[in-house]
Structure 1
Amino acid sequence: MNANKRVQIEQRQTELVLRDDVQDGAPPPMGIDLAAGTAVIRRRG
């Protein structure tokens, strides 16, 4: 297996284990700004 690919796979596995909490500074999965009239939806992964 290519060393770079192995590093990518290990990084993906690490990201799956870690939690994303808004309180920890992670961006919220969705947000609605009524004043600006915009909605933001982020895909996971």
Structure 2
Amino acid sequence: MNLKQIKWRSFESQVSLDKAAMERVLVLADSSIKARGQFHLVLAGGS
């Protein structure tokens, strides 16, 4: 990983973080669908 490519952002609230994450996923999904006709999102979770 190239550390120069890391971009740090801070958010004033959990809500603003959630909104920014949602908007980023939607942009990536849209561009992927336009380019390849599909978009996959894998989420890992646990307890």
- Give the TM-score band, short-chain normalised: 0.3 to 0.5
TM-score (norm. length: structure 1): 0.39
Mark the structure with the bigger radius of gyration.
1
* Larger RCO (alpha carbons 8 Å, 6+ apart): 1
- Greater share of helix residues, 1 or 2? 2
TM-score (norm. length: structure 2): 0.38
- Greater share of strand residues, 1 or 2? 1
